[in-house]
């Protein structure tokens, strides 16, 4: 699907071509009026074409394409931190005390290949009008990155998380809403554990909180990392079903890994991810002190993703009153690529639950759910930010019904209040698991 920006370019080009040829809407009208010999029904059809074409113009009268495309300032910087330099792209201008959306990508990717399809999607434009977006590339993973010198010690996953406060300080940012995928989700989770006051919410795609590395088995079976590297990364990003059904997409990312990524730098990043420590998070229990996320979290995974088990494991270790697990149907390892509409909708309601964007419009998917009779609860935009899971849950209901992990009967109704579980279940709080 073309992005909104591509549509604007196409629309502008069509207008210019029409102007050069002396054609267009006004030409049609003049021709019908001047010749006066045609059937009046033809003229009506011409006029109807004009009306239909102008019902929802892509660009309002007097509004320039250039102005639209330059609405957000873009700053790219290499920022020096405690553990070396990191490449950062800031899109837009931070707004007062409002957090910025900070993204961190997975291995085998950078912020462009991981998040451009999502943030260029038309439904995300409503969100980016309200928030600046800060994209962080892991050291040496950005486009055109030079090779690290011999003997360079790549930062550990903990150190990559420790670099982020320096990024926020450089831009004068106070807090973030984080969006991380795979390795990036781990880094942002570690950052939130270390600096809870800097993180208002997290959207974690394919997060794995455990120490064991996915590459252990592959590394022992395949000799020669330079040849095996693309295959191992692809197996991390995509599930078997996806590799079979979406050959073109998988091939595109394989070619990106082979042709665009610096292989030496990528290998160092993979080693860092494969050597990660266990996050050591635990589900909080009354009367005990546990290490867990203090902010609301939305865990996202495709139903055929290779990370399903890891994400479910992470969900079981987080505060159920602040956490929602979103499983996406017909989706593999990269929901932000294959299902941008669903993820944009989920992200919008997650942000609304934090008290931002209370008047955001209802999306097409949401309208279809409402029409189908789904149980949807409206969200008061002034609701406390600590109740984010309420807002997300109320807007994540599908026609299949909302499910908790311990109560999966179809159509089960849930009491969407803090510390609540499935209806009729009094055993304590249950984390939410929803599908879309």
Give pLDDT tens digits for 296-309: 999 999 999 999 99
Output the CATH code of domain 72-353: 3.40.50.1820
Give pLDDT tens digits for 247-264: 999 999 999 999 999 999
Per-residue confidence at 369, pLDDT binned at 50, 70, 90? Answer: very low
Residue recorded with tokens 């669903």: 342
Other beta carbons within 10 angstroms of residue 318's beta carbon come to: 26
User: 40-44, 128-132, 179-183: lowest mean pLDDT where?
Assistant: 40-44
Angle, CA 383 vertex, CA 363 and CA 103 arms, to 5°: 60
Give pLDDT tens digits for 260-292: 999 999 999 999 999 999 999 999 988 888 899
Considering only residues 35 and 245, tell me which one the structure prediction assigns the higher pLDDT. 245
Judge if pTM exceeds 0.75: no
The per-residue pLDDT for 412 is 30
The per-residue pLDDT for 395 is 37
Considering only residues 347 and 374, tell me which one the structure prediction assigns the higher pLDDT. 347
Report the chain's mean pLDDT, rounded to a whole number: 75
pLDDT exceeds cutoff 70 at 388 = no
C-beta of residue 192 within 8 angstroms of C-beta of residue 202: yes
The whole-number average pLDDT for the span 142-150 is: 94
The per-residue pLDDT for 154 is 98
Phi, psi of 2 (to 5 degrees): -70, 145
The per-residue pLDDT for 357 is 85
pLDDT exceeds cutoff 90 at 56 = no
Residue 372 to residue 39: CA distance in whole angstroms:
45
The per-residue pLDDT for 289 is 85
Residue 424 to residue 426: CA distance in whole angstroms:
6
């Amino acid at each position: 699907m073309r992005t909104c920006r591509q549509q604007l370019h196409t629309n502008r080009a069509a207008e210019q071509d029409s102007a050069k040829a002396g054609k267009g809407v006004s030409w049609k009208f003049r021709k019908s009026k001047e010749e006066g010999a045609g059937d009046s029904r033809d003229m009506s059809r011409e006029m109807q074409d004009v009306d239909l074409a102008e019902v929802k113009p892509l660009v309002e009268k007097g509004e320039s394409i250039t102005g639209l495309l330059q609405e957000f300032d873009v700053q790219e910087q290499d920022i020096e931190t405690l553990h070396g330099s990191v490449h950062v792209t800031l899109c837009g201008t931070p707004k007062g005390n409002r957090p910025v959306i900070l993204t961190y990508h997975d291995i085998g990717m950078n912020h462009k290949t991981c998040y451009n399809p999502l943030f260029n999607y038309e439904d995300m434009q409503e969100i980016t009008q309200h928030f600046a977006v800060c994209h962080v590339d892991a050291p040496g993973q950005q486009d055109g990155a030079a090779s690290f010198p011999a003997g360079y010690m790549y930062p550990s996953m903990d150190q990559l998380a420790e670099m982020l406060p320096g990024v926020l300080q450089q831009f004068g940012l106070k807090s973030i809403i984080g969006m991380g995928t795979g390795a990036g989700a781990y880094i942002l989770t570690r950052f939130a554990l270390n600096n809870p006051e800097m993180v208002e919410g997290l959207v974690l795609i394919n997060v794995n909180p455990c120490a064991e590395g996915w590459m252990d088995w592959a590394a022992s079976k395949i000799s020669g990392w330079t040849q095996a590297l693309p295959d191992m990364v692809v197996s991390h990003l995509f599930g078997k079903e996806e590799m079979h059904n979406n050959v073109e997409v998988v091939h595109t990312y394989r070619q990106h890994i082979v042709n665009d990524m610096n292989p030496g730098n990528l290998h160092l990043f993979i080693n860092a991810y494969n050597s990660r420590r266990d996050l050591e998070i635990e589900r909080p229990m009354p009367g005990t002190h546990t290490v867990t996320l203090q902010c609301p979290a939305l865990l996202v995974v495709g139903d055929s993703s290779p990370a399903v088990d890891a994400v479910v494991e992470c969900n079981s270790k987080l505060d159920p009153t602040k956490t929602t697990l979103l499983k996406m149907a017909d989706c593999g390892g990269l929901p932000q690529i294959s299902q941008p509409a669903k993820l944009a909708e989920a992200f919008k309601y997650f942000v609304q639950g934090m008290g931002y964007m209370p008047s955001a419009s209802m999306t097409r998917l949401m309208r279809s759910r409402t029409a189908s009779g789904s149980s949807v609860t409206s969200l008061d935009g002034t609701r406390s930010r600590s109740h984010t899971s309420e807002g997300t849950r109320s807007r994540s209901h599908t026609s299949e019904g909302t499910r908790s992990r311990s109560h999966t009967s179809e159509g089960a109704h849930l009491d969407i209040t803090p510390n609540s579980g499935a209806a009729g279940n009094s055993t304590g709080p249950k984390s939410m698991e929803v599908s879309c």
